[in-house]
Amino acid sequence: MFESPLFWPAHIKGNTLYVLDETLVPSKIKYIPVRNVKGALAVIRDMKTRAFGQFLVVLNAFLLELGHKGDLLAYVQKVAEQLNDSRPTFPFAEVTGIIVGVAHKAKANGADVRTAVTKTVEGFLAGIRGRRLERVRQIAESMKDGDRILTHCNVSGELAMAASLALAQGKKIKFYATETRPYMQGAKLTIWELTQAKAQVILVADNAAGALMAEGMVNKVIIGSDRSAANGDIANKIGSYQIAVLAKEFNIPLIVLTQPSKGVAEGEDMPIEQRSGMEVIQYERKRLFPAGVVGFYPGFDVVPHQYITKAIAIHAGL
């Protein structure tokens, strides 16, 4: 099976974390060397990596300066706080809380904090990798021969790998990927990944989803999610909500890849990150529209669980 670089976009080697610069994919496959927590916070804040990549960065960030002398527990707590504050929509606190807990317990028991944290992070990573591969198999299973699948934004490797698996199983599938303005993750990442996986994929503007569904050109929607609430609501890239409403209107099943958590009760409790309106005004750092134009860019929206036909869940190793 094809493995996308987006499936595992950050890996540690020696004292350096190599983070795939997803903003350059597919033009360049370049890894940013991250040597300390400050660098980890920067790649998160600048959205050099997204969703699952950010989760990998958060976990690995704890390992970067563990050579640190002094109070390692206090250090781990500080790292956790900084990571939690880096992006409001993401539930980093859940996983950083566990690492802090491990450090606490190690210190209380007189064990080595460094070893405890390292083992925990490494164990998490190995477990997550296995569960993600298992989910790829489940996604492939949900793909049927003859499917015309719409997807939005990018689901970090798994969709393309599932497509590759489904193709190997002899299923004929056509994909439609939305551009996903303003960052164009669909047009750049999803199209590239699915093409690499030898799948048939067609790019459409974000405003074509309704027409595709009305014309019967799409019979299934598969999207990822950045966050889940306990009641099944999910937060995902802006545009997911409207695709969900359209899918319901046209009786098309909506499959969401989720990372369930009990951190928040329902979607309304999830803070939505308001990105700068300038991000709609410019593209690849070049201004598209004249000065004076005011943009508004909520980065995410929340899809209420009523719209979700099926969640294919993965637990983030908790």
Catalytic residues: 226
The distance of closest approach from Cβ of residue 187 to its own copies in the complex, given in angstroms and rounded to an integer, is: 5
Which tokens hold the place of 159? Answer: 């969709």
The distance of closest approach from Cβ of residue 292 to its own copies in the complex, given in angstroms and rounded to an integer, is: 6
The distance of closest approach from Cβ of residue 107 to its own copies in the complex, given in angstroms and rounded to an integer, is: 44
Q: 140 phi and psi, to 5 degrees?
A: -60, -40
Give the distance from CA 242 to its chain's centroid: 19
Q: 15 phi and psi, to 5 degrees?
A: -100, 10
Give the number of other CB atoms < 10 A from CB of residue 125.
Answer: 18
Which tokens hold the place of 279? Answer: 């991000």
First to last CA, the chain: 27
The distance of closest approach from Cβ of residue 196 to its own copies in the complex, given in angstroms and rounded to an integer, is: 11
Q: State the Cα–Cα distance between residues 234 and 248, nearest whole angstrom.
A: 16
Looking at the Cβ atoms of 196 and 258, the one nearer to its own copies is 196
The distance of closest approach from Cβ of residue 253 to its own copies in the complex, given in angstroms and rounded to an integer, is: 17
Looking at the Cβ atoms of 2 and 241, the one nearer to its own copies is 241
Looking at the Cβ atoms of 26 and 88, the one nearer to its own copies is 26
- 59 closest CA partner among 44, 45, 47, 46: 44
Q: State the Cα–Cα distance between residues 205 and 213, nearest whole angstrom.
A: 14
Hey, which bits of 211-263 come out as E strands? 220-223, 227-228, 234-237, 254-258
The distance of closest approach from Cβ of residue 195 to its own copies in the complex, given in angstroms and rounded to an integer, is: 6
Is the Cβ–Cβ distance between 164 and 2 less than 8 Å? yes
The distance of closest approach from Cβ of residue 313 to its own copies in the complex, given in angstroms and rounded to an integer, is: 24
Q: State the Cα–Cα distance between residues 316 and 69, nearest whole angstrom.
A: 30
Looking at the Cβ atoms of 168 and 214, the one nearer to its own copies is 214
Which tokens hold the place of 247? Answer: 């899918």
Looking at the Cβ atoms of 98 and 270, the one nearer to its own copies is 270
Looking at the Cβ atoms of 51 and 302, the one nearer to its own copies is 302
Report cis status (omega within 30 of 0) of the bond before 91.
no
The residues that touch its own copies, with contacts defined as CB under 8 A, are 26-27, 152, 176, 178-182, 184, 187-188, 191-192, 195, 201-211, 214-215, 237-239, 241-243, 245-246, 249, 277, 280-281, 288-290, 292-298, 301-302
Q: State the Cα–Cα distance between residues 153 and 287, nearest whole angstrom.
A: 22
Q: State the Cα–Cα distance between residues 71 and 220, nearest whole angstrom.
A: 52
Is the Cβ–Cβ distance between 34 and 6 less than 8 Å? no
Q: State the Cα–Cα distance between residues 72 and 133, nearest whole angstrom.
A: 34
Looking at the Cβ atoms of 114 and 248, the one nearer to its own copies is 248
